[in-house]
Amino acid sequence: MKDDLRSVFVAETRGLLRSLREGLAGIETNPLALPELFRWAHTLKGDVEMAGLSDIETIVVPMVETLRAAKEKGGLGHAEAELLSSAVGACEDLLSDKPVRGLPELAGDLARAAAPQRADAAKRTMLNVLVVEDSRLQRQVVADELGRASDAFFKVETAGRLDGALQRLAAGGVDAVLLDLSLPDSQGVETFERVSRASPETPVIILTITNDDALALEAIRKGAQDYLVKKQLQVLLLSRIVRYAVERKRLDTELRRTRESLEQRVKERTGELERSNSELRLFASAASHELRAPLRRIISYGDLLKRRSQGRLDQEALGFVEMMRSAAHALDTLLASLRELTQVTTATRPLEPVELDAVLSDVALELRPAVEEAGGRLEIGPMPRVLGDPIQLGQLFRNLILNSLKYRRNEEPARIAVSSLDAGDCFELAVEDNGIGFEQQYAQQLFQPFHRLHGSGRYEGLGLGLAICARIVWRHGGRIYAEGRPDQGARFIIQLPKPGPGPAREILH
Protein backbone atom coordinates (compact mmCIF):
# COMPACT_ATOMS: atom_id res chain seq x y z
CA MET A 1 0.00 0.00 0.00
CA LYS A 2 2.85 2.31 0.85
CA ASP A 3 4.57 1.57 -2.46
CA ASP A 4 1.31 2.22 -4.33
CA LEU A 5 0.97 5.64 -2.64
CA ARG A 6 4.57 6.48 -3.50
CA SER A 7 3.91 5.59 -7.12
CA VAL A 8 1.01 8.05 -7.16
CA PHE A 9 3.24 10.87 -5.90
CA VAL A 10 5.98 9.98 -8.37
CA ALA A 11 3.48 10.04 -11.24
CA GLU A 12 2.15 13.37 -10.01
CA THR A 13 5.72 14.66 -9.85
CA ARG A 14 6.36 13.69 -13.47
CA GLY A 15 3.25 15.54 -14.59
CA LEU A 16 4.16 18.68 -12.63
CA LEU A 17 7.73 18.69 -13.98
CA ARG A 18 6.38 18.40 -17.52
CA SER A 19 4.00 21.33 -16.90
CA LEU A 20 6.85 23.41 -15.46
CA ARG A 21 9.10 22.67 -18.44
CA GLU A 22 6.40 23.69 -20.92
CA GLY A 23 5.46 26.79 -18.92
CA LEU A 24 9.07 27.95 -18.64
CA ALA A 25 9.53 27.52 -22.40
CA GLY A 26 6.77 30.08 -23.06
CA ILE A 27 7.25 32.39 -20.05
CA GLU A 28 8.74 35.25 -22.08
CA THR A 29 5.69 35.45 -24.35
CA ASN A 30 3.18 34.76 -21.57
CA PRO A 31 4.16 36.58 -18.31
CA LEU A 32 0.72 35.79 -16.86
CA ALA A 33 1.86 32.17 -16.47
CA LEU A 34 4.27 33.10 -13.64
CA PRO A 35 1.71 32.71 -10.77
CA GLU A 36 0.70 29.34 -12.26
CA LEU A 37 4.35 28.23 -12.41
CA PHE A 38 4.79 29.11 -8.76
CA ARG A 39 1.65 27.13 -7.83
CA TRP A 40 2.91 24.07 -9.74
CA ALA A 41 6.35 24.29 -8.10
CA HIS A 42 4.81 24.63 -4.67
CA THR A 43 2.65 21.54 -5.28
CA LEU A 44 5.69 19.71 -6.65
CA LYS A 45 7.58 20.42 -3.43
CA GLY A 46 4.84 18.73 -1.40
CA ASP A 47 4.67 15.67 -3.72
CA VAL A 48 8.44 15.22 -3.62
CA GLU A 49 8.43 15.31 0.16
CA MET A 50 5.61 12.76 0.32
CA ALA A 51 7.39 10.51 -2.17
CA GLY A 52 10.64 10.72 -0.21
CA LEU A 53 12.64 11.94 -3.22
CA SER A 54 15.34 13.69 -1.20
CA ASP A 55 17.73 14.29 -4.12
CA ILE A 56 15.01 16.02 -6.13
CA GLU A 57 13.89 17.95 -3.03
CA THR A 58 17.34 19.64 -2.80
CA ILE A 59 16.60 21.18 -6.23
CA VAL A 60 12.85 21.81 -5.89
CA VAL A 61 13.09 23.85 -2.66
CA PRO A 62 15.33 26.59 -4.17
CA MET A 63 13.19 26.42 -7.36
CA VAL A 64 10.13 27.35 -5.31
CA GLU A 65 11.97 30.26 -3.65
CA THR A 66 13.21 31.54 -7.02
CA LEU A 67 9.68 31.49 -8.48
CA ARG A 68 8.26 33.08 -5.32
CA ALA A 69 10.75 35.95 -5.57
CA ALA A 70 10.04 36.32 -9.31
CA LYS A 71 6.29 36.43 -8.65
CA GLU A 72 6.73 39.11 -5.98
CA LYS A 73 9.01 41.09 -8.26
CA GLY A 74 6.50 40.83 -11.09
CA GLY A 75 8.70 39.16 -13.70
CA LEU A 76 11.17 36.38 -14.50
CA GLY A 77 14.40 37.23 -16.30
CA HIS A 78 15.80 35.19 -19.16
CA ALA A 79 18.76 33.94 -17.10
CA GLU A 80 16.47 32.83 -14.26
CA ALA A 81 14.15 31.03 -16.73
CA GLU A 82 17.12 29.15 -18.23
CA LEU A 83 18.34 28.18 -14.78
CA LEU A 84 14.91 26.91 -13.77
CA SER A 85 14.64 24.91 -17.00
CA SER A 86 17.98 23.25 -16.21
CA ALA A 87 16.69 22.45 -12.72
CA VAL A 88 13.52 20.86 -14.12
CA GLY A 89 15.63 18.77 -16.50
CA ALA A 90 17.84 17.64 -13.63
CA CYS A 91 14.78 16.59 -11.62
CA GLU A 92 13.41 14.59 -14.57
CA ASP A 93 16.78 12.83 -14.97
CA LEU A 94 16.87 11.99 -11.27
CA LEU A 95 13.32 10.67 -11.45
CA SER A 96 14.42 8.39 -14.33
CA ASP A 97 17.47 7.21 -12.34
CA LYS A 98 19.87 8.94 -14.74
CA PRO A 99 23.14 10.26 -13.28
CA VAL A 100 23.21 14.05 -12.71
CA ARG A 101 26.39 15.94 -11.99
CA GLY A 102 26.73 19.19 -10.06
CA LEU A 103 23.52 19.04 -8.00
CA PRO A 104 24.95 21.14 -5.09
CA GLU A 105 26.17 23.77 -7.56
CA LEU A 106 22.75 23.89 -9.26
CA ALA A 107 20.97 24.31 -5.92
CA GLY A 108 23.41 27.09 -4.97
CA ASP A 109 22.83 28.90 -8.28
CA LEU A 110 19.06 28.80 -7.68
CA ALA A 111 19.44 30.18 -4.14
CA ARG A 112 21.65 33.00 -5.41
CA ALA A 113 19.12 33.81 -8.16
CA ALA A 114 16.33 34.15 -5.60
CA ALA A 115 18.27 36.43 -3.22
CA PRO A 116 18.54 39.64 -5.34
CA GLN A 117 14.94 39.29 -6.50
CA ARG A 118 13.76 39.12 -2.89
CA ALA A 119 15.90 42.19 -2.09
CA ASP A 120 14.39 44.13 -5.01
CA ALA A 121 10.90 43.09 -3.99
CA ALA A 122 11.46 44.24 -0.41
CA LYS A 123 12.17 47.77 -1.67
CA ARG A 124 8.80 48.13 -3.34
CA THR A 125 5.70 49.70 -1.89
CA MET A 126 2.69 47.69 -0.75
CA LEU A 127 -0.56 49.41 -1.70
CA ASN A 128 -4.09 48.26 -0.84
CA VAL A 129 -6.37 49.02 -3.80
CA LEU A 130 -10.16 48.76 -3.73
CA VAL A 131 -11.70 48.16 -7.18
CA VAL A 132 -15.36 49.20 -7.23
CA GLU A 133 -16.85 47.81 -10.46
CA ASP A 134 -20.09 45.95 -11.13
CA SER A 135 -18.58 43.80 -13.90
CA ARG A 136 -16.89 40.72 -12.46
CA LEU A 137 -14.80 40.33 -15.62
CA GLN A 138 -13.61 43.93 -15.44
CA ARG A 139 -12.74 43.54 -11.76
CA GLN A 140 -10.64 40.49 -12.61
CA VAL A 141 -8.90 42.31 -15.48
CA VAL A 142 -7.88 45.18 -13.18
CA ALA A 143 -6.74 42.78 -10.46
CA ASP A 144 -4.68 40.77 -12.97
CA GLU A 145 -3.04 43.89 -14.39
CA LEU A 146 -2.08 45.15 -10.94
CA GLY A 147 -0.80 41.70 -10.02
CA ARG A 148 1.65 41.90 -12.93
CA ALA A 149 3.12 45.25 -11.80
CA SER A 150 6.85 45.18 -11.14
CA ASP A 151 7.18 48.61 -9.50
CA ALA A 152 4.89 48.01 -6.49
CA PHE A 153 2.95 45.34 -4.60
CA PHE A 154 -0.79 45.68 -4.97
CA LYS A 155 -3.20 43.95 -2.66
CA VAL A 156 -6.46 44.11 -4.59
CA GLU A 157 -9.91 43.99 -3.02
CA THR A 158 -13.12 44.30 -5.02
CA ALA A 159 -16.70 45.45 -4.56
CA GLY A 160 -19.55 45.19 -7.04
CA ARG A 161 -21.84 47.72 -5.32
CA LEU A 162 -21.32 51.10 -3.69
CA ASP A 163 -22.71 50.05 -0.30
CA GLY A 164 -20.13 47.27 -0.08
CA ALA A 165 -17.37 49.72 -1.04
CA LEU A 166 -18.48 52.21 1.63
CA GLN A 167 -18.43 49.48 4.28
CA ARG A 168 -14.89 48.51 3.27
CA LEU A 169 -13.73 52.14 3.32
CA ALA A 170 -15.20 52.60 6.79
CA ALA A 171 -12.91 49.81 8.02
CA GLY A 172 -9.85 51.81 6.85
CA GLY A 173 -6.58 50.64 5.36
CA VAL A 174 -7.41 51.41 1.70
CA ASP A 175 -4.66 53.32 -0.14
CA ALA A 176 -6.55 54.01 -3.38
CA VAL A 177 -9.94 53.41 -5.00
CA LEU A 178 -10.56 52.54 -8.65
CA LEU A 179 -14.19 53.57 -9.10
CA ASP A 180 -16.76 52.93 -11.79
CA LEU A 181 -19.35 55.74 -11.66
CA SER A 182 -22.17 53.49 -12.93
CA LEU A 183 -23.06 50.97 -10.25
CA PRO A 184 -26.30 49.10 -9.51
CA ASP A 185 -26.96 51.24 -6.42
CA SER A 186 -25.45 54.58 -7.52
CA GLN A 187 -25.02 56.52 -10.75
CA GLY A 188 -22.95 59.46 -11.96
CA VAL A 189 -20.81 61.95 -10.05
CA GLU A 190 -22.84 61.30 -6.90
CA THR A 191 -21.03 57.93 -6.74
CA PHE A 192 -17.70 59.70 -6.41
CA GLU A 193 -19.07 62.27 -3.96
CA ARG A 194 -20.33 59.54 -1.62
CA VAL A 195 -16.97 57.75 -1.74
CA SER A 196 -15.14 61.03 -1.14
CA ARG A 197 -17.32 61.87 1.87
CA ALA A 198 -16.81 58.39 3.30
CA SER A 199 -13.00 58.58 3.03
CA PRO A 200 -11.76 62.10 2.22
CA GLU A 201 -8.08 61.14 2.57
CA THR A 202 -8.25 58.25 0.06
CA PRO A 203 -7.38 59.08 -3.58
CA VAL A 204 -10.00 58.04 -6.14
CA ILE A 205 -9.31 57.14 -9.78
CA ILE A 206 -12.33 56.99 -12.07
CA LEU A 207 -12.83 53.99 -14.36
CA THR A 208 -14.68 55.11 -17.46
CA ILE A 209 -15.80 53.89 -20.85
CA THR A 210 -15.01 55.94 -23.94
CA ASN A 211 -18.34 57.77 -24.06
CA ASP A 212 -18.41 59.15 -20.50
CA ASP A 213 -15.16 61.16 -20.37
CA ALA A 214 -17.15 64.30 -19.56
CA LEU A 215 -18.55 62.63 -16.47
CA ALA A 216 -15.06 61.59 -15.38
CA LEU A 217 -13.74 65.12 -15.89
CA GLU A 218 -16.56 66.49 -13.76
CA ALA A 219 -15.53 64.07 -10.99
CA ILE A 220 -11.92 65.29 -11.30
CA ARG A 221 -13.10 68.89 -10.89
CA LYS A 222 -14.75 67.75 -7.67
CA GLY A 223 -11.56 66.14 -6.36
CA ALA A 224 -10.90 62.82 -8.12
CA GLN A 225 -7.20 62.27 -8.83
CA ASP A 226 -7.38 60.86 -12.37
CA TYR A 227 -9.40 58.69 -14.73
CA LEU A 228 -8.73 55.59 -16.86
CA VAL A 229 -10.52 54.24 -19.93
CA LYS A 230 -11.34 50.60 -19.25
CA LYS A 231 -10.48 49.40 -22.75
CA GLN A 232 -7.00 50.91 -22.54
CA LEU A 233 -5.82 49.35 -19.28
CA GLN A 234 -2.13 48.47 -19.31
CA VAL A 235 -0.09 47.25 -16.38
CA LEU A 236 2.51 50.04 -16.46
CA LEU A 237 -0.07 52.79 -17.00
CA LEU A 238 -2.40 51.44 -14.32
CA SER A 239 0.38 50.97 -11.76
CA ARG A 240 1.85 54.42 -12.42
CA ILE A 241 -1.50 56.19 -12.17
CA VAL A 242 -2.35 54.46 -8.89
CA ARG A 243 1.07 55.24 -7.37
CA TYR A 244 1.00 58.86 -8.58
CA ALA A 245 -2.55 59.32 -7.27
CA VAL A 246 -1.53 58.02 -3.83
CA GLU A 247 1.52 60.31 -3.77
CA ARG A 248 -0.42 63.38 -4.97
CA LYS A 249 -3.11 62.80 -2.37
CA ARG A 250 -0.46 62.40 0.33
CA LEU A 251 1.22 65.66 -0.69
CA ASP A 252 -2.14 67.45 -0.90
CA THR A 253 -3.05 66.22 2.56
CA GLU A 254 0.30 67.27 4.00
CA LEU A 255 -0.01 70.69 2.34
CA ARG A 256 -3.53 71.18 3.68
CA ARG A 257 -2.50 70.15 7.20
CA THR A 258 0.54 72.45 7.05
CA ARG A 259 -1.65 75.33 5.86
CA GLU A 260 -4.19 74.69 8.61
CA SER A 261 -1.38 74.53 11.17
CA LEU A 262 0.10 77.81 9.91
CA GLU A 263 -3.32 79.49 9.94
CA GLN A 264 -3.84 78.35 13.52
CA ARG A 265 -0.40 79.62 14.53
CA VAL A 266 -1.07 82.97 12.84
CA LYS A 267 -4.40 83.16 14.62
CA GLU A 268 -2.74 82.41 17.96
CA ARG A 269 0.09 84.88 17.35
CA THR A 270 -2.39 87.54 16.25
CA GLY A 271 -4.33 87.01 19.46
CA GLU A 272 -1.13 87.28 21.48
CA LEU A 273 -0.19 90.46 19.60
CA GLU A 274 -3.61 91.98 20.21
CA ARG A 275 -3.39 91.16 23.92
CA SER A 276 0.13 92.58 24.07
CA ASN A 277 -0.96 95.75 22.28
CA SER A 278 -3.91 96.13 24.62
CA GLU A 279 -1.66 95.76 27.66
CA LEU A 280 0.83 98.22 26.18
CA ARG A 281 -1.89 100.79 25.53
CA LEU A 282 -3.19 100.45 29.08
CA PHE A 283 0.32 100.71 30.50
CA ALA A 284 1.19 103.75 28.37
CA SER A 285 -2.03 105.49 29.32
CA ALA A 286 -1.62 104.74 33.03
CA ALA A 287 2.07 105.65 33.04
CA SER A 288 1.43 108.89 31.18
CA HIS A 289 -1.33 109.85 33.61
CA GLU A 290 0.66 108.95 36.71
CA LEU A 291 3.80 110.74 35.53
CA ARG A 292 2.11 113.84 34.13
CA ALA A 293 0.05 114.44 37.27
CA PRO A 294 3.09 115.36 39.46
CA LEU A 295 4.62 117.26 36.54
CA ARG A 296 1.55 119.45 36.29
CA ARG A 297 1.83 120.16 40.01
CA ILE A 298 5.48 121.12 39.56
CA ILE A 299 4.49 123.47 36.72
CA SER A 300 1.64 124.95 38.76
CA TYR A 301 3.81 125.51 41.84
CA GLY A 302 6.51 126.96 39.61
CA ASP A 303 4.01 129.45 38.17
CA LEU A 304 2.77 130.29 41.69
CA LEU A 305 6.34 130.77 42.98
CA LYS A 306 7.18 133.05 40.08
CA ARG A 307 4.11 135.26 40.64
CA ARG A 308 4.44 135.52 44.45
CA SER A 309 8.17 136.02 44.48
CA GLN A 310 8.27 139.10 42.28
CA GLY A 311 10.60 141.61 43.97
CA ARG A 312 11.79 139.12 46.61
CA LEU A 313 13.95 136.91 44.37
CA ASP A 314 16.93 138.15 42.42
CA GLN A 315 17.26 137.54 38.70
CA GLU A 316 19.39 134.42 39.15
CA ALA A 317 16.76 132.78 41.39
CA LEU A 318 13.99 133.70 38.95
CA GLY A 319 16.09 132.12 36.20
CA PHE A 320 16.27 128.92 38.19
CA VAL A 321 12.47 128.92 38.57
CA GLU A 322 12.05 129.48 34.83
CA MET A 323 14.45 126.63 33.98
CA MET A 324 12.49 124.36 36.34
CA ARG A 325 9.22 125.27 34.62
CA SER A 326 10.71 124.82 31.13
CA ALA A 327 12.12 121.39 32.01
CA ALA A 328 8.78 120.30 33.47
CA HIS A 329 6.94 121.52 30.34
CA ALA A 330 9.43 119.67 28.12
CA LEU A 331 9.00 116.45 30.06
CA ASP A 332 5.20 116.81 29.95
CA THR A 333 5.37 117.26 26.16
CA LEU A 334 7.67 114.25 25.87
CA LEU A 335 5.25 112.03 27.80
CA ALA A 336 2.35 113.20 25.65
CA SER A 337 4.33 112.49 22.47
CA LEU A 338 5.38 109.03 23.67
CA ARG A 339 1.79 108.21 24.48
CA GLU A 340 0.81 109.39 20.99
CA LEU A 341 3.52 107.22 19.40
CA THR A 342 2.36 104.19 21.39
CA GLN A 343 -1.25 104.73 20.36
CA VAL A 344 -0.23 104.81 16.69
CA THR A 345 1.89 101.66 16.97
CA THR A 346 -0.78 99.63 18.80
CA ALA A 347 -3.89 100.99 17.07
CA THR A 348 -6.56 98.38 16.37
CA ARG A 349 -9.25 100.41 14.61
CA PRO A 350 -10.13 98.77 11.28
CA LEU A 351 -9.22 100.68 8.12
CA GLU A 352 -12.07 102.15 6.13
CA PRO A 353 -12.54 104.15 2.90
CA VAL A 354 -11.40 107.73 3.61
CA GLU A 355 -11.80 110.87 1.47
CA LEU A 356 -8.46 112.65 1.86
CA ASP A 357 -10.01 115.89 0.52
CA ALA A 358 -12.17 116.06 3.66
CA VAL A 359 -9.28 115.09 5.95
CA LEU A 360 -6.97 117.79 4.56
CA SER A 361 -9.75 120.37 4.62
CA ASP A 362 -10.10 119.84 8.39
CA VAL A 363 -6.31 119.93 8.88
CA ALA A 364 -6.01 123.19 6.88
CA LEU A 365 -8.76 124.83 8.93
CA GLU A 366 -7.09 123.74 12.18
CA LEU A 367 -3.65 124.99 11.13
CA ARG A 368 -4.77 128.27 9.53
CA PRO A 369 -3.69 130.39 12.53
CA ALA A 370 -0.21 128.81 12.54
CA VAL A 371 0.19 129.29 8.78
CA GLU A 372 -0.91 132.90 8.96
CA GLU A 373 1.36 133.60 11.93
CA ALA A 374 4.31 132.31 9.87
CA GLY A 375 3.22 134.49 6.93
CA GLY A 376 2.99 131.34 4.84
CA ARG A 377 0.68 129.81 2.29
CA LEU A 378 -0.75 126.27 2.18
CA GLU A 379 -1.88 124.87 -1.17
CA ILE A 380 -3.81 121.58 -1.34
CA GLY A 381 -4.54 119.82 -4.65
CA PRO A 382 -7.20 117.18 -5.40
CA MET A 383 -6.87 114.16 -3.14
CA PRO A 384 -7.95 110.52 -3.70
CA ARG A 385 -9.98 108.13 -1.63
CA VAL A 386 -7.82 105.62 0.27
CA LEU A 387 -8.29 102.83 2.77
CA GLY A 388 -7.23 104.11 6.15
CA ASP A 389 -7.82 105.48 9.62
CA PRO A 390 -9.13 109.06 9.21
CA ILE A 391 -7.83 110.20 12.61
CA GLN A 392 -4.31 108.92 11.94
CA LEU A 393 -4.25 110.24 8.37
CA GLY A 394 -5.19 113.68 9.72
CA GLN A 395 -2.37 113.38 12.24
CA LEU A 396 0.04 112.39 9.43
CA PHE A 397 -0.60 115.52 7.34
CA ARG A 398 -0.81 117.76 10.43
CA ASN A 399 2.67 116.65 11.53
CA LEU A 400 4.16 117.08 8.04
CA ILE A 401 2.71 120.58 7.57
CA LEU A 402 3.84 121.67 11.05
CA ASN A 403 7.29 120.26 10.26
CA SER A 404 7.43 122.45 7.14
CA LEU A 405 6.38 125.53 9.16
CA LYS A 406 9.00 124.81 11.83
CA TYR A 407 11.89 124.46 9.39
CA ARG A 408 11.03 127.46 7.18
CA ARG A 409 13.60 130.03 6.13
CA ASN A 410 13.31 133.27 8.06
CA GLU A 411 13.96 135.46 5.06
CA GLU A 412 11.23 133.95 2.92
CA PRO A 413 7.52 133.22 3.59
CA ALA A 414 6.72 129.53 3.92
CA ARG A 415 5.15 127.87 0.86
CA ILE A 416 3.69 124.41 1.45
CA ALA A 417 2.05 122.33 -1.30
CA VAL A 418 0.16 119.05 -0.82
CA SER A 419 -0.42 117.06 -4.03
CA SER A 420 -1.35 113.56 -5.22
CA LEU A 421 -0.48 111.32 -8.16
CA ASP A 422 -1.96 108.03 -9.41
CA ALA A 423 1.13 105.80 -9.60
CA GLY A 424 -0.60 102.68 -10.92
CA ASP A 425 -0.76 100.24 -8.02
CA CYS A 426 -0.71 102.99 -5.38
CA PHE A 427 -1.43 106.67 -4.73
CA GLU A 428 1.63 108.88 -4.32
CA LEU A 429 1.00 111.82 -1.98
CA ALA A 430 3.55 114.61 -1.48
CA VAL A 431 4.07 117.46 1.01
CA GLU A 432 6.61 119.92 -0.40
CA ASP A 433 8.02 123.14 1.08
CA ASN A 434 10.62 125.85 0.44
CA GLY A 435 12.27 125.57 3.84
CA ILE A 436 15.82 124.99 4.97
CA GLY A 437 15.98 121.45 3.51
CA PHE A 438 18.61 118.87 4.49
CA GLU A 439 21.45 116.77 3.16
CA GLN A 440 20.02 113.80 1.25
CA GLN A 441 22.41 111.40 2.97
CA TYR A 442 20.52 111.98 6.24
CA ALA A 443 17.04 111.35 4.76
CA GLN A 444 16.46 107.99 6.49
CA GLN A 445 17.47 109.36 9.89
CA LEU A 446 14.59 111.83 9.81
CA PHE A 447 12.09 109.11 10.74
CA GLN A 448 14.01 107.73 13.72
CA PRO A 449 12.56 108.58 17.17
CA PHE A 450 14.35 111.43 19.01
CA HIS A 451 16.66 112.05 16.05
CA ARG A 452 17.05 115.65 14.89
CA LEU A 453 19.38 116.94 12.20
CA HIS A 454 19.39 120.43 13.77
CA GLY A 455 20.27 121.28 17.34
CA SER A 456 17.56 121.44 19.99
CA GLY A 457 18.53 125.00 20.87
CA ARG A 458 17.69 126.31 17.42
CA TYR A 459 14.38 124.50 16.81
CA GLU A 460 11.85 123.31 19.36
CA GLY A 461 10.64 119.71 19.43
CA LEU A 462 11.56 116.22 20.55
CA GLY A 463 12.22 114.47 17.25
CA LEU A 464 9.05 112.36 17.41
CA GLY A 465 6.79 114.04 14.85
CA LEU A 466 8.24 112.36 11.74
CA ALA A 467 8.68 109.06 13.61
CA ILE A 468 4.93 109.11 14.27
CA CYS A 469 4.31 109.86 10.56
CA ALA A 470 6.39 106.83 9.53
CA ARG A 471 4.49 104.51 11.83
CA ILE A 472 1.14 105.77 10.58
CA VAL A 473 2.17 105.08 6.99
CA TRP A 474 3.54 101.64 7.86
CA ARG A 475 0.31 100.74 9.62
CA HIS A 476 -1.52 101.59 6.37
CA GLY A 477 0.70 99.24 4.36
CA GLY A 478 2.50 102.13 2.68
CA ARG A 479 5.92 103.73 2.38
CA ILE A 480 7.27 107.17 3.27
CA TYR A 481 10.56 108.76 2.24
CA ALA A 482 12.05 112.24 1.96
CA GLU A 483 13.99 114.25 -0.60
CA GLY A 484 15.77 117.51 0.04
CA ARG A 485 18.71 119.83 -0.51
CA PRO A 486 20.09 122.45 1.89
CA ASP A 487 18.28 125.80 1.57
CA GLN A 488 16.15 124.45 -1.29
CA GLY A 489 13.31 122.88 0.62
CA ALA A 490 12.14 119.37 1.38
CA ARG A 491 9.67 116.96 -0.15
CA PHE A 492 7.99 114.12 1.79
CA ILE A 493 6.46 111.38 -0.40
CA ILE A 494 3.86 108.92 0.91
CA GLN A 495 2.81 105.88 -1.11
CA LEU A 496 -0.48 104.30 -0.03
CA PRO A 497 -2.03 101.19 -1.62
CA LYS A 498 -5.23 101.61 -3.57
CA PRO A 499 -8.41 100.21 -1.99
CA GLY A 500 -9.05 96.66 -3.19
CA PRO A 501 -12.30 94.68 -3.48
CA GLY A 502 -13.87 93.16 -0.40
CA PRO A 503 -14.45 94.45 3.11
CA ALA A 504 -12.11 96.91 4.78
CA ARG A 505 -9.44 95.26 6.90
CA GLU A 506 -6.48 95.93 9.12
CA ILE A 507 -3.07 95.89 7.39
CA LEU A 508 -0.43 94.40 9.69
CA HIS A 509 3.33 95.03 9.30
CATH 3.40.50.2020 matches 2-121: no
Interval 235-256 mean pLDDT:
79
Lowest mean pLDDT among 17-26, 376-385, 480-489: 17-26
State residue 1's pLDDT score: 41
18 phi/psi in degrees, rounded to 5:
-60, -45
Counting Cβ atoms within 10 Å, is residue 78 exposed (0-12), middle (13-18) or buried (19+)? Answer: exposed
- 441 and 497 in contact (C-beta within 8 Å)? no
Interval 109-119 mean pLDDT:
66
CA distance 168 to 352: 54
Q: Which helix (H) or strand (E) holds 383?
A: none
State residue 507's pLDDT score: 36
488 phi/psi in degrees, rounded to 5:
-125, 20
Q: Which residue has the higher pLDDT, 7 or 398?
A: 398
CA distance 476 to 246: 45
Query: Is residue 136's pLDDT more than 60?
Result: yes
Q: Which helix (H) or strand (E) holds 175?
A: none
**What tens digit of pLDDT does each residue of 185-236 get?**
998 889 999 999 999 889 998 888 766 777 778 888 888 888 888 877 765 6
State residue 506's pLDDT score: 37
Interval 72-77 mean pLDDT:
72
- 151 and 243 in contact (C-beta within 8 Å)? yes
State residue 164's pLDDT score: 92
Question: At how many degrees (to 10) do helices 235-308 and 315-345 cross?
Answer: 160
CA distance 367 to 370: 5
Please calculate the CA angle 159-164-170 and round it to the nearest 5 degrees.
115
| b/e map 158-196, b = 16+ CB within 10 Å | bbbebebbbebbeeeebbbbbbbbbbeebeebebbebbb
State residue 508's pLDDT score: 34
Task: Measure CA 331 to chain center.
Answer: 49
* Highest mean pLDDT out of 34-48, 452-466, 492-506: 34-48
**What tens digit of pLDDT does each residue of 382-394 get?**
999 999 888 889 8
Interval 323-341 mean pLDDT:
70
Distant-in-sequence, close-in-space partners of 345: CB < 8 Å, separation ≥ 6: 277, 471, 475
State residue 502's pLDDT score: 44
Domain residue ranges in the chain: 2-121, 125-233, 260-346, 347-497
Query: Where does the pLDDT of residue 509 fall: very low under 50, low under 70, confident under 90, or very high at 90 and above?
Result: very low
Task: Measure CA 498 to chain center.
Answer: 27
Q: Which CATH number applies to 347-497: 3.30.565.10, 3.60.15.10, 3.40.1010.10, 3.40.50.720? A: 3.30.565.10
Query: Is residue 74's pLDDT more than 60?
Result: yes
Measure Cα distances from 190 to 130, 170, 178, 193 in Å. Answer: 18, 18, 15, 5
Query: Is residue 167's pLDDT more than 80?
Result: yes
State residue 475's pLDDT score: 85
Query: Where does the pLDDT of residue 495 fall: very low under 50, low under 70, confident under 90, or very high at 90 and above?
Result: very high
State residue 341's pLDDT score: 63
Query: Where does the pLDDT of residue 247 fall: very low under 50, low under 70, confident under 90, or very high at 90 and above?
Result: confident
Query: Where does the pLDDT of residue 459 fall: very low under 50, low under 70, confident under 90, or very high at 90 and above?
Result: low
Identify any residues that bridge with 233 across adjacent strands, giving them in sequence order: none
Interval 41-64 mean pLDDT:
80
State residue 503's pLDDT score: 41
Query: Is residue 120's pLDDT more than 60?
Result: no
Q: Which CATH architecture has domain 260-346?
A: Orthogonal Bundle (1.10)
**What tens digit of pLDDT does each residue of 277-297 get?**
666 666 666 666 666 677 777
Measure Cα distances from 363 to 72, 231, 266 in Å. Answer: 83, 77, 38
State residue 458's pLDDT score: 63
Counting Cβ atoms within 10 Å, is residue 131 exposed (0-12), middle (13-18) or buried (19+)? Answer: buried
CATH level 3 topology of 125-233: Rossmann fold (3.40.50)
State residue 236's pLDDT score: 63
Query: Is residue 38's pLDDT more than 70?
Result: yes
Query: Where does the pLDDT of residue 432 fall: very low under 50, low under 70, confident under 90, or very high at 90 and above?
Result: very high
State residue 161's pLDDT score: 92
State residue 194's pLDDT score: 92
Taking alpha carbons only, the member of 301, 305, 388 closest to residue 344 is 388
Lowest mean pLDDT among 125-139, 330-344, 399-413, 483-497: 330-344
Interval 419-423 mean pLDDT:
91
Q: Which helix (H) or strand (E) holds 412?
A: none
